[in-house]
């Protein structure tokens, strides 16, 4: 029985490109069973009233699964030798690397001038003199040679955030050169590796306990307080794993689609 308020309209942009499916039983939902104004849909197969946003999310998941059946896009790989399934994506990006390198060199070039002064002051107050080979500006008689201990300490504290930001920029450069995310599934052990080249960390999960695989929005505020948004892959199993923010959208979607196909049938 159809609830009578589901007097459904036919103008449905949802059904335009991809067929709407019931998230529960995967049956097609006809466009006249979708009510945009009420934000609901009705599945005639399992007689369920559904939230429209669940139907849309389910249609997107379907698109992800389908796309992952094609050849992996550039920068992605997938293999299954019968014992182990490997699904991975690289964060490599030439444009990103060049951009990050330029910013890193510029920022650290400026910061390094002050770091050299701070090191010179530190040498002065620890070993008592500044070696001649040390590339400090105005070693003899200059401002460095008369820097007080308090000034040296202040300079280090003042410089710390600038040094950390510079290291972060360098890290972003390394990610663009060799960053990768790889999921391995073997027997009932799943591992998510995130790192740069061979360096990184592994997180384990249990493939048989996977309840959900999805692409989710990750929102945060940057150092200026501006809202930022990025998508990430989420695996909900014995624990919740989130990864893939450093990947391009195409690679992240491939990773998510492959994992949906492999982990959640």
Instruction: Give the binding range for Zn ion (CB under 5 A) out of 20-28, 85-93, 207-215, 248-256.
Output: 20-28
Binding flag, residue 22, Zn ion (CB under 5 A): yes
Out of 10, 45, 148, 228, the residue judged to bind Zn ion by CB under 5 A: 45
Q: Tell me, what DSSP letter sits at residue 21?
A: B
Would you say 40 and 29 are in contact if contact means Cβ atoms under 8 Å apart?
no
- Please state, in angstroms and as integers, the Cα–Cα distance from residue 201 to each residue in 179, 181, 183, 194, following that order: 12, 10, 12, 6
Binding flag, residue 25, Zn ion (CB under 5 A): yes
Out of 7, 9, 19, 24, the residue judged to bind Zn ion by CB under 5 A: 24
Q: In the complex, what is the shortest distance from the CB of residue 15 to Zn ion, in angstroms, rounded to a whole number?
A: 15
Q: In the complex, what is the shortest distance from the CB of residue 265 to Zn ion, in angstroms, rounded to a whole number?
A: 17
Out of 41, 43, 76, 118, the residue judged to bind Zn ion by CB under 5 A: 43
Binding flag, residue 167, Zn ion (CB under 5 A): no
Would you say 233 and 247 are in contact if contact means Cβ atoms under 8 Å apart?
no
For residues 189 and 192, give the distance between their C-alpha atoms in angstroms, rounded to a whole number. Answer: 10
Backbone angles phi, psi at 142, to 5 degrees: -80, -175
Q: What residue has token string 């499916």?
A: 21
Binding flag, residue 2, Zn ion (CB under 5 A): no
Question: In whole angstroms, what separates CA 165 from the centre of its chain?
Answer: 19
For residues 136 and 204, give the distance between their C-alpha atoms in angstroms, rounded to a whole number. Answer: 49
Q: In the complex, what is the shortest distance from the CB of residue 18 to Zn ion, in angstroms, rounded to a whole number?
A: 16
Binding flag, residue 110, Zn ion (CB under 5 A): no
Instruction: Give the binding range for Zn ion (CB under 5 A) out of 37-45, 70-78, 104-112, 120-128.
Output: 37-45
Binding region for Zn ion (CB under 5 A): 22, 24-25, 27, 43, 45-46
């Amino acid at each position: 029985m159809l609830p009578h308020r589901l007097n459904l309209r036919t103008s449905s942009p949802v059904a335009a490109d991809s067929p709407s499916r019931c998230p529960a039983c995967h049956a097609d939902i006809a466009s006249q069973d979708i009510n945009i104004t009420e934000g609901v849909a009705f599945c005639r197969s399992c007689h369920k009233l559904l939230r429209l946003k669940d139907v849309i999310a389910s249609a997107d998941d379907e698109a992800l699964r389908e796309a992952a059946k094609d050849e992996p896009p550039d920068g992605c790989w997938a293999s299954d030798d019968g014992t182990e399934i490997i699904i991975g994506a690289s964060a490599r990006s030439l444009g990103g690397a060049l951009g990050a390198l330029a910013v890193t060199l510029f920022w650290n070039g400026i910061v390094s001038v002050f770091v050299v002064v701070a090191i010179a002051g530190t040498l002065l107050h620890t070993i008592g003199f500044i070696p001649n080979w040390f590339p400090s500006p105005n070693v003899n008689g200059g401002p460095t040679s008369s820097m007080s201990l308090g000034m040296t300490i202040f300079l280090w504290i003042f410089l710390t955030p600038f040094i950390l930001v510079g290291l972060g920029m360098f890290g972003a450069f390394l990610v663009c050169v060799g960053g990768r995310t790889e999921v391995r599934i073997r027997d009932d052990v799943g591992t998510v590796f995130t790192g740069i080249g061979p360096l990184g960390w592994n997180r384990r999960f249990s493939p048989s306990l996977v309840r959900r695989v999805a692409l989710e929005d990750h929102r945060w505020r940057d150092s200026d307080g501006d809202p930022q948004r990025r998508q990430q892959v989420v695996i909900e199993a014995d624990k919740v794993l989130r990864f893939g923010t450093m990947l391009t959208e195409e690679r992240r979607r491939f990773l998510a689609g492959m994992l949906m196909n492999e982990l959640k049938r």
